[in-house]
Structure 1
Amino acid sequence: MYTLLSLFILIALLFLVLNHCRKRKIICRISCMTLTEKCCLLNQLAEPFGFCYDHRQDIFSSRTDAWQKDFGYGKLYDLASLSMNMVLDTEPVYFNYENKTWLIQFWKGQYGITSGAEAGIYHADRVVPPMLRGQTIFQAADDHEMLPMRIRLLSSCSGQLFCISHIHWWLTGFVIGYCISPSELTAEYTITFPDMEMCSAFLNSLTELGYGWDEIRLEGTNLRFVFTVPSVCESPGWRRNFILWKNRLFCRIYRKVTCPFSTTADRLLYLYYYLPFAFRRTICPRRFKKHKRYR
């Protein structure tokens, strides 16, 4: 019995020593890399997940050629968000333009251990009656339908988290290692529409959802609005609070494990070398499953 116990303790000590040596080697490897090398490697690793790294703001954003484009979007996806540890405020804005029903949807909130915001442009191939919109998967806007968009995300505690702009079909910004309740986030969205007809159609739908002129600013076809509280919140409060509690716990674990470093690039590369499975879970805030498109 004592022999087995001694052997177990010896193996445990050997494991701790080897693990410590491995961690020191990884830390040294990352510390010796230049910023350019880190960004290039991180972008190579993030590309298969549909994201890219912006070192200037220390955030991740979606690529215009992200594979998520093939799956479109619909209400069914939002219903599954809590099961994927995502606690989000979302505002879908449906409107008809050029004989199609369009969906421009906005999100802000907590994606696992990541705080962020999104804006996506989608449409059907026909006019969809309001009663069928919730069960329709809208296809993502094509390249020629992408619009200039801007997202500015602010926290009531930390101030501005990021400000990003791009011609896109799905503009996003994600700050890894932060856990902030959606109610503490304010997102300012700006969209430049191709003509006044599309801008007016979107504006009418936005005002029908309850947004007032104190939240909207219009300059020609350039429309900006502030998203604080969604017009409808469908998920139970206790579930959201429980998921947020879990996410805060995972955030602490993430920061503890990667504590030798302070920037997102260093922390993620450390995870990549030390815990690859944790890196994969962290790098992809949204996970999609294939759904049949209804047109």
Structure 2
Amino acid sequence: MPEQLTLFNSGIISEGNYDKLASMPDETGNKTLDEIIEISGYSYDPNQDIFYSNMDPWQRKIGYCHFFDVAAAPMGMIIDCEPIFFDYNDKQWMIGFWKGQYDLVSGAEIGIYTRTSNRNPLSYMLGSYYKSADNNELLPMSFTLRKNGKVLFTRKDLHWWLTGFKLGEFSQPSELSMAITITLDNPIMRDAFIDGLRNAGYSAEEFTHFGTTVSLNFDVPHTPQPITRNKVFEWIIQWKNEQLCHEFQDITGESNTVPEKLKVLEELAPELYKRILRMGRSKPLYNLYQSILTAAIALLVIIIGTFFSNFVLL
């Protein structure tokens, strides 16, 4: 209870979430940490020592647009992006692959998103908006993440956002590869997805399919990367990320389990501890998107208002 009160008083846990602590099941062995992880949208797999996204985290409400990939590097995430676009069942689909360094963690993602139109007036600024797949659009997916040929972890689930993040591991995106399998709903959807792969630059030799299951290896991206992935900026961010990982390893070197490591960090390096609570695609990225979207809408309203004012004067 003193530990929970400390986090509550520091503002890390809100008043509304504080009462849920006592009933939270252990996953890491630390009830407070499990609560924070769940609020962040993740769970912990002790067998592989990784964190992964839940079915209904706060991120599901956000969806996807290209701006998220552009904003990733400034937010400390140097990751390869591979969006695959295709049309199926009167919708535009985007199945995206990501791998790389997310601040203090190495990780990977497969995400499924859909949209029904191109009517977003801000698409030219932020990129077309896609909402996260609904429950009836989930697909069986799996990937094995390797670093320099060595397996880091494997994920498999019926999901819309299949992820895995290894805490304290530092990697260059070029060191990582994902062996991916996705089972589509039917042959029509499979063929549409394959067309999307081809449009993204994948040759027939770079993927296989058996039935409605498509397999491929995501190593070197085939699609253009965000403008923020320039070499100088990437070097600066990755230098910072590597130092953070080294600091994590130095402080927690003699600790064996994740709860032990995080307890040490909470006591000896509280700022590093707080960074870990923002692993993966964090809320600051969403908050930045909301701020820019609000400003863009306000600017659009001003432009429209000015246009009609001038029209009336004429």
> Above 0.5 in TM-score?
yes
Is the CA contact (8 Å cut-off) linking 2:63 and 2:131 kept in structure 1? Answer: yes
| Alpha-carbon distance in 2 for matches of 1:275, 1:38 | 20
Residues 27 and 44 of structure 2 are in contact (CA less than 8 Å); yes or no, is this contact kept in structure 1?
A: no
1:149 maps to 141
Question: In 2, are the aligned partners of 1:72 and 1:138 still within 8 Å (CA)?
Answer: yes
Identify the match of residue 107 of structure 2 among 101, 113, 116: 116
RCO comparison, higher one (Cα < 8 Å, 6+)? 1
- Measured in 2, the distance between the counterparts of 1:189 and 1:93 equals 13
In the superposition, relative to structure 1, how do residues 208 and 37 fare at CA in structure 2: closer, same or farther (>3 Å)?
A: closer
Indicate which of 247, 255, 259 corresponds to 1:261.
255
**8 Å contact kept, 2:28–2:44:** no
Counterpart position of 1:105 = 96
One-letter code aligned to 1:172: T
Correspondence for 1:225 among 200, 216, 221: 216
Shift in Å at residue 233 of structure 1?
2.7
Pairing 1:154-173 to 2, within 5 Å after superposition: 154-156=146-148, 159-173=150-164
- 2:253 and 2:169 mapped to 1: Cα distance? 14
Aligned mates of 2:275, 2:140 — CA distance in 1: 30
* Cα shift readout 1:35-63 (whole Å, capped 9, x = no counterpart): 96616554322000000000000000000
Question: 1:39 touches 1:53 (CA, 8 Å); kept in 2?
Answer: no
> Is 2:236 the partner of 1:245?
no
Is residue 2:273 matched to residue 1:279? yes
Out of 63, 70, 74, the position equivalent to 1:72 is 63
Q: Is the 8 A contact 1:101 1:127 kept in 2?
A: no
**1:242-293 Cα deviation digits (max 9, x unpaired):** 2111111111111122233133342123334554443232132212225469
Hey, what's the Cα distance between the residues in 2 that align with 1:99 and 1:37? Answer: 43
CA distance in 2, matches of 1:37, 1:152: 23
Per-residue CA shift, 1:102-159, capped at 9, x if unaligned?
1111100000121010000001123689xx58611210001121111101100116x0
Task: Please give the secondary structure, in 2, of the residue aligned with 1:229.
Answer: coil
Separation (CA, whole Å) in 2 of partners of 1:227 and 1:39: 35
Deviation at 1:215, TM superposition (A): 2.2
Helix, strand or coil at the partner of 2:205: coil
Q: Quote the residue 2:307 is aligned against.
A: none
> Is 2:85–2:94's contact at 8 Å kept on the other side of the alignment?
yes
What is the TM-score of this pair, normalised by structure 1? 0.80
Count of aligned positions: 257
Q: Are 1:51 and 2:45 an aligned pair? A: no
Q: Deviations over 1:211-266 (max 9, x none)?
A: 12332120111111100111223421221122111111111111122233133342
Contact 1:93 1:104 in 2 (8 A): yes
TM-score, scaled to structure 2? 0.76
Q: Report if aligned partners of 1:193, 1:221 keep a CA contact under 8 Å in 2.
A: yes
Instruction: Supply the AA of the counterpart residue of 1:268.
Output: L
Name the % identity.
Answer: 34
Q: 1:125 to 1:238 in 2, by over 3 A?
A: same
Q: Which residue of 2 aligns with 1:95?
A: 86
How big is the shift at 1:198? 1.1
Is the contact between residue 27 and residue 34 of structure 2 (CA under 8 Å) also seen in structure 1? no
Instruction: Please say if 1:189 is aligned against 2:177.
Output: no
Aligned Cα RMSD in Å?
Answer: 2.4
Change beyond 3 A, Cα 1:51–1:211:
same
Q: Helix, strand or coil: the match of 1:81?
A: helix
Distance in 2 of aligned mates of 1:36 and 1:230: 35
Contact 1:149 1:171 in 2 (8 A): yes
* Secondary structure at the counterpart of residue 102 of structure 1: strand
